[in-house]
Amino acid sequence: MTALLAPTPTVDLARLRGKARAIRREILRMVHAGQSGHPGGSLGVADLVTALYYAVLRHDPQNPRWAQRDRFILSKGHCSPVIYAVLADCGYFPPGDLATFRRPGSHLQGHPCSAKTPGIEASTGTLGLGLSTACGMALGGMLRGGSHYYYALCGDGEQQEGQIWEAAMFANKYHLSNLIAFTDRNRLQTDGDTEDVMPLDPLPEKWRAFGWHSWEIDGHDFTQILAAVARAKREHDGRPTMIIANTTKGKGVSFMEGAAAWHSGPPSDAQLALALEELAHD
């Protein structure tokens, strides 16, 4: 395994697409094996997390505590299958561990645990906590004079939590320009459409009102994802960035796409076979 010490200078988009398909297959296998988990959201953010780990983040699987690494915090911690699949593929722990997802004694539980799993930067799961944690970490990095970045991935339903907006104020006050966050804007949560549960629109305007840079992208377009990160890094006015990534819950699997019912729950044997077949090709 080659250590990924710096962002890829020339991005192979075909490679990223292939990696994302492989990650989606592992997500489905994990949730099926554990007979529990959150496949819809995990599938939906596979492109975002793939782009970050294979083309953006400075990180080293052979040295997970490398001081100059970039940090990734999965604020929507229930979508742990996606980060587990990526970390295993990168070499942070054996891929065979994925088969133990949510099993008693496994280090791969339903929500990420930084004390147990190499490569996990923060224990998350309580909605809103991950972004607050990322803010504190980013402030610490800034005070130490670090040059690395802190990346956070939030859910859209998660932004119905007041703690998210406390974190937004904190990041603006302390000028956390080293914090680049994403919102997984799939418009679905466990109780249905976000705009029926508690309306969120217009999200970019709300984040800008809180002093952040914010704009929308297609969360499945690798070119847009990478361009958004590059744009955020070019800003030097002391403001954090929130990128609203429009995604499809259950992306890549026809019967899961756009279906709130697949927020959680495992596929059957037949559904798994069908989904894996669909993900075998572009």
Task: Name the average pLDDT for the chain.
Answer: 95
| Assigned domain for 196 exists | yes
Residue 134 lies in a domain: yes
Count of domains observed in the chain: 1
For residue 95, the enclosing domain spans: 16-278
**Residue at 90 is within a domain:** yes
Residue 142, pLDDT score: 97
By three-state DSSP, how is residue 150 classified? Answer: strand
pLDDT at residue 281, rounded to an integer: 81
Is the model's pLDDT at 65 over the cut of 50? yes
How confident is the model at residue 117, as a pLDDT?
A: 98
Task: Give the C-alpha separation, 56 to 54, whole Å.
Answer: 6
Residue 7 lies in a domain: no
On the question of pLDDT at 67 being above 90, the answer is yes
In whole angstroms, give the CA distance from residue 116 to residue 108: 8
Number of H helices, E strands in the chain: 10, 7
pLDDT given at position 1: 26
User: Which CATH number characterizes residue 96's domain?
Assistant: 3.40.50.970
Give the model's confidence band at 236: pLDDT under 50 very low, under 70 low, under 90 confident, else very high. Answer: confident
Residue range 170-199, pLDDT digits in tens: 999 999 999 999 999 999 999 999 999 999
Quickly count: other Cβ atoms within 10 Å of residue 213's Cβ: 18
Residue 9: pLDDT band (50, 70, 90) is: low
Q: What is the pTM of this model?
A: 0.95
For the stretch 102-143, pLDDT in tens is 999 999 999 999 999 999 999 999 999 999 999 999 999 999
Q: Within a domain: residue 8?
A: no
Residue 10 counted as domain residue: no
Reply yes or no on whether the pLDDT at 2 is more than 60: no
pLDDT score, position 245? 98
DSSP 256: T
Q: Which is more confidently placed, 91 or 3?
A: 91
**Is residue 138 in some structural domain?**
yes
Cα-Cα-Cα-Cα torsion 137, 138, 144, 148, nearest 10 degrees, comes to: 110
Would residue 94 count as lying in a domain? yes
- Beta strands (DSSP E) in the chain are 71-74, 150-155, 179-185, 188-189, 192-193, 213-218, 241-246
